Structure 1
Amino acid sequence: MQTALPPLVAFSTPSNMAGEITETGELYSPYVGLVYMFNLIVGTGALTMPKAFATAGWLVSLFLIMFLGFMSYMTTTFVMEAMAAANAQLRWKRQEKEKVEDDSCSSEASDNDSLIQDGGEWSETRPILSVQRRGSRDFFEIMERVEMGQMASMFFHKVGINLFYFCIIIYLYGDLAIYAAAVPISLMQVTCSTGNHSSTGVFEVKNDTDQCWGPVRRIDAYRIYLVAFTILLGPFTFFNVQKTKYLQILTSLMRWVAFSIMIILALVRISKGQGEGHPPLGQLSGIRNLFGVCVYSFMCQHSLPSLVTPISRKRHLMQLVLLDYILILGFYSLLSFTAIFCFQNDSLMDMYTLTFTRHDIINLAFIRYFLGLFPVFTISTNFPIIAVTLRNNWRTLFHREGGTYPWVVDRIVFPLITLAPPILVAFCTHDLESLVGITGAYAGNGIQYVIPAFLVYCSRKQMQLIFNGNIVNKYRSPFRHTCWIWFVLVWALSCLLFVTANIILSETKL
């Protein structure tokens, strides 16, 4: 799963979350790492954010995204501290092993020396003073890449490890369901009529039951594309897939061209007085999806080991990460605010790129098709990668030490349980805003808040036992007090209860 370069793809791709220690790969400067992190975080959530902003209101959205950005930065520093602690523990264990071996060699050498002493002349079989390597090494330097699955096995008990993998698996299922729905939706919107202006000048969005091609309804077209998507990309789940450097660069360039076009077009329309959006200050009913979308949009914690470890100079790592979050927050705000003040809420699509497929927005057919099909190209390249990652996590979860799986289980059962659930979810619903919101609010909540909080808490306890406070973690989080950990956990629980209660109330009203 890992490549020499960090993920550059348009959508956040999980690293090998069940992985062991791997090679660091090619080193790069801190500023290149800053760009890589920016590219990693800005993904699918950015495309669903404008609709969520319009539904929740601009003031509530601005406050919530700023607060959630701060929370995400805090837990990112937690993960980096845990990464340093994992490196320290590995070095300490290696040192203890070397010490035992050296003591054993020393004992044998002493016995041999007493036997070879001859006539008062001592035969030098080893140096009088051994090389004092221990103590001079910086234990907490992040040199070895330790993935989150490995950190969980180092710092958690068995129950905690199983809960970690359960959370990762649910998140990856949500990712796959979002991707499986996004590609057919984009194809349906491009090939079917997305809507037009009525005689009153009001934009009318087509319903799923409206016709697409002759007797074929739009929902039928969506399901046809979903079947084709499954047939073309599903088989990759049964094999090993690896990203390539050039594919990452291509998808990254496509994404930034698409984002730039959308922002510029929205700004031009607003400057010409053609802005149609009048978002409210706040609306309680839209906060649930907005929360999930924002959490999903700031997701990077699971890929930090493969992203941070190759950075050559980590002296100002925390400050660079903070700068990255500020830039990302500014970008999300620019994209979303230009969208909600340019378009009416009813005309904003769940996937923001599809809003620009209307003829009255832009006359150039090439740009309309480029924006409409942009998610198709980028998501299609990520789907097999995430599917293989999920399959491997299933294998790890049920793996027994020294045991192997039967061929049918390994090659058939695991790929099927990976592929079938997200495809079924995408077949039943294509409400991307809800899919992203639920994935972020539940599994994303665990990955972004709960797991980092427990990782840093357990790692601090183990470092205290090992070093007794004599060596300080140079990458410790600025949020050092235990109260911050409890604050994150209480916030995560509160959000979980709020989202669940909101869903229940919504279903009751229906």
Structure 2
Amino acid sequence: MAGEIAETEELYSPYVGLVYMFNLIVGTGALTMPKAFATAGWLVSLFLLVFLGFMSFMTTTFVTEAMAAANAQLHWKRIENHQEEEDDNSSTASDSDSLIQDNYEQAEKRPILSVQRRGAPNLFEITDRVEMGQMASMFFNKVGVNLFYFCIIIYLYGDLAIYAAAVPFSLMQVSCATGNDSCGVESDTKYNDTDLCWGPLRRVDTYRIYLAVFTLLLGPFTFFDVQKTKYLQILTSLMRWIAFAIMIVLALVRIGRGQGEGHPPLADFSGVRNLFGVCVYSFMCQHSLPSLVTPISSKRHLTRLIFLDYVLILAFYGLLSFTAIFCFRGNSLLDMYTLNFARCDIVGVAAVRFFLGLFPVFTISTNFPIIAVTLRNNWKTLFHREGGTYPWVVDRVVFPTITLVPPVLVAFCTHDLESLVGITGAYAGTGIQYVIPAFLVYLCRKDTRLAFGHETINKHRSPFRHSFWVGFVLLWAFSCFVFVTANIVLSETKL
């Protein structure tokens, strides 16, 4: 839960924190980015990627500032409680004249502002892990808190739907290609869900069978408590970077040999909607910052560290996407980029083809139970009443069921990963990445001035400290919401 003290956790160096943040941001969204790039055009995609990366960096510094302000409040409460305990101890002490005299002399010698002077420089040190839910409860009113949980719940539902669709989709693509005695997925072959896969089984039937197996195997974890182990994180990170490195190298080699098939346009604004959602989703980290930043041992240059991370991530996304769109024809790029390497003319080694084709299965499957439990706990927190407890059936059956069923139903109806990622990023992602951090930093600044005075300086304050930036983020978020909604309505009207 929120508010756990970081001293009980294992601390790590700033550079390890840089690696962890890189791994956190670069996830499933990166695999859907190449197709979005090819659809929107390389120049528009590059501009939007850099701009959205900048916006995400800005709101990340907003969340960091809010974390420091929340820590200052918690530290100050501890100081006040400590003073009250000292006063209580002195009032219940012996009534002997000598003890009274000693207490009086100690009180006279101690400066009135000694506690404040001693604690002020460290008030804004980020030592307590204050999750976004707790920050919302500290700085927002009741309506704001409920809206926060609504937004985070919608985002987590979208996350689970993407994961529930990605694993069966990858398994279907690999197994159906094998079932048709094909070496792999041909780049210029367009498959329909009604095409045969194994004997009388259609591709969509195979997909839904895999979805059912996926739900039966991983769904029960939603009813229990699971935690991500350190070794599992290391394993999945290692597999991820091996897969990304193989894809980038193979694409570069193919382009270098003059075998590149891609001729992406400069701009195609019809694809901007999905590109926007994919980019927002691919820069999502704000909701996990407290768990990531708090254990960093030295936070002296935290903002510079975050900036360096974003530069590296931008370079990586650009390298992955540009090698993809010039290596493969735009209409042949699949929603899950790894599946483009299931061809013999791209990868000659069968083991590598299967590794890349099944890569999302391994990495996503390990994350699904963790996100499901996180969503379940957010539901419980949203309806929690002070001092109340849930009946066993509600706690162990109802909440896990409403967590698991909706994303599985969405995945049953569609496996269009680009649209799922685009919609999740464009709506819930906009709220988490832009709206919530902007209101958090605005209200925490206001609260800090009231509590500690106008001269107090938050040592982790954002470089974007002028209120103009808060208004700019909110205006941009509103514009994005209107643009994406209008684009969807127009698309539906054309259909």
2:397 is matched with which residue? Answer: 412
Report the 3-state secondary structure (helix = DSSP H, G, I; strand = E; otherwise coil) of the residue aligned with 2:118.
coil
For the 8 Å contact 1:196–1:358, the answer to whether it is kept is no
1:97, CA displacement in angstroms? 2.7
1:389 is matched with which residue? Answer: 374
- 2: CA distance between counterparts of 1:420 and 1:482? 42
- 2: CA distance between counterparts of 1:360 and 1:206? 19
For the 8 Å contact 2:430–2:477, the answer to whether it is kept is yes
1:124 is matched with which residue? Answer: 102
For the 8 Å contact 2:187–2:333, the answer to whether it is kept is no
Relative to 1, partners in 2 of residues 1:261 and 1:117: Cα closer, same or farther, differing over 3 Å? closer
1:209, CA displacement in angstroms? 1.0
- 1: CA distance between counterparts of 2:79 and 2:191? 67
1:284, CA displacement in angstroms? 1.0
2:337 is matched with which residue? Answer: 352
Which of 439, 449, 453 is the aligned partner of 2:424?
Answer: 439
Which of 364, 370, 377 is the aligned partner of 2:362?
Answer: 377
Report the 3-state secondary structure (helix = DSSP H, G, I; strand = E; otherwise coil) of the residue aligned with 1:478.
coil
Task: Confirm or deny that 1:495 pairs with 2:480.
Answer: yes
2:232 is matched with which residue? Answer: 247
- 2: CA distance between counterparts of 1:211 and 1:127? 91
- 2: CA distance between counterparts of 1:214 and 1:38? 44
2:159 is matched with which residue? Answer: 175
- 2: CA distance between counterparts of 1:260 and 1:180? 25
Amino acid at match of 2:425: G
Which of 40, 63, 66 is the aligned partner of 1:56?
Answer: 40
Q: Cα deviation per residue 1:319-361 (whole Å; 9 max; x = unaligned)?
A: 1110110000000000000000000012111000011112221
Task: Confirm or deny that 1:452 pairs with 2:437.
Answer: yes
For the 8 Å contact 1:276–1:344, the answer to whether it is kept is yes
1:202, CA displacement in angstroms? 7.8
Residue identity over aligned pairs, in percent, reads 74
Which of 82, 85, 106 is the aligned partner of 2:66?
Answer: 82
1:29, CA displacement in angstroms? 1.1
- 1: CA distance between counterparts of 2:155 and 2:91? 53
1:362, CA displacement in angstroms? 1.3
Report the 3-state secondary structure (helix = DSSP H, G, I; strand = E; otherwise coil) of the residue aligned with 2:266.
coil
Amino acid at match of 1:191: S
- 2: CA distance between counterparts of 1:72 and 1:315? 21
1:125, CA displacement in angstroms? 5.1
1:134 is matched with which residue? Answer: 116
1:274 is matched with which residue? Answer: 259
- 2: CA distance between counterparts of 1:101 and 1:232? 52
For the 8 Å contact 2:187–2:332, the answer to whether it is kept is no
Structure 1 residues 188-197 or 439-448, which shifts more?
188-197
- 2: CA distance between counterparts of 1:289 and 1:179? 18
Task: Confirm or deny that 1:428 pairs with 2:409.
Answer: no
Amino acid at match of 1:43: G
Normalising by the residue count of structure 2, what TM-score does the alignment of the two structures yield? 0.94
Q: Which has the higher helix share?
A: 2
Relative to 1, partners in 2 of residues 1:268 and 1:413: Cα closer, same or farther, differing over 3 Å? same
Task: Confirm or deny that 1:19 pairs with 2:2.
Answer: yes
For the 8 Å contact 2:158–2:420, the answer to whether it is kept is yes
Amino acid at match of 2:64: M
- 2: CA distance between counterparts of 1:123 and 1:459? 43
Count matched residues: 484
1:99, CA displacement in angstroms? 3.1
For the 8 Å contact 2:187–2:340, the answer to whether it is kept is no
1:123, CA displacement in angstroms? 5.4
- 1: CA distance between counterparts of 2:257 and 2:447? 61
Report the 3-state secondary structure (helix = DSSP H, G, I; strand = E; otherwise coil) of the residue aligned with 2:404.
helix
For the 8 Å contact 1:57–1:283, the answer to whether it is kept is yes
- 2: CA distance between counterparts of 1:275 and 1:398? 54
Which of 306, 319, 322 is the aligned partner of 1:337?
Answer: 322
Report the 3-state secondary structure (helix = DSSP H, G, I; strand = E; otherwise coil) of the residue aligned with 1:212.
strand
Report the 3-state secondary structure (helix = DSSP H, G, I; strand = E; otherwise coil) of the residue aligned with 1:135.
helix
Matches within 5 A, 1:281-360: 281-360=266-345
Task: Confirm or deny that 1:97 pairs with 2:84.
Answer: no
Amino acid at match of 1:184: P
Q: Cα deviation per residue 1:444-495 (whole Å; 9 max; x = unaligned)?
A: 0000000000000010010000111232101000000001000000000000
- 2: CA distance between counterparts of 1:287 and 1:352? 18
- 1: CA distance between counterparts of 2:477 and 2:335? 26
Report the 3-state secondary structure (helix = DSSP H, G, I; strand = E; otherwise coil) of the residue aligned with 2:177.
coil
1:21, CA displacement in angstroms? 2.9
Report the 3-state secondary structure (helix = DSSP H, G, I; strand = E; otherwise coil) of the residue aligned with 1:203.
coil
Task: Confirm or deny that 1:73 pairs with 2:57.
Answer: yes
Amino acid at match of 2:157: Y
- 2: CA distance between counterparts of 1:393 and 1:64? 32
Report the 3-state secondary structure (helix = DSSP H, G, I; strand = E; otherwise coil) of the residue aligned with 2:189.
strand
1:461 is matched with which residue? Answer: 446
1:32, CA displacement in angstroms? 1.0
Amino acid at match of 1:282: A
Relative to 1, partners in 2 of residues 1:257 and 1:308: Cα closer, same or farther, differing over 3 Å? same
Cα-Cα RMSD? 1.9
1:206, CA displacement in angstroms? 1.8
Relative to 1, partners in 2 of residues 1:93 and 1:368: Cα closer, same or farther, differing over 3 Å? same
1:243, CA displacement in angstroms? 1.1
For the 8 Å contact 2:169–2:415, the answer to whether it is kept is yes
Amino acid at match of 2:351: F
- 1: CA distance between counterparts of 2:177 and 2:45? 31
Amino acid at match of 2:153: I
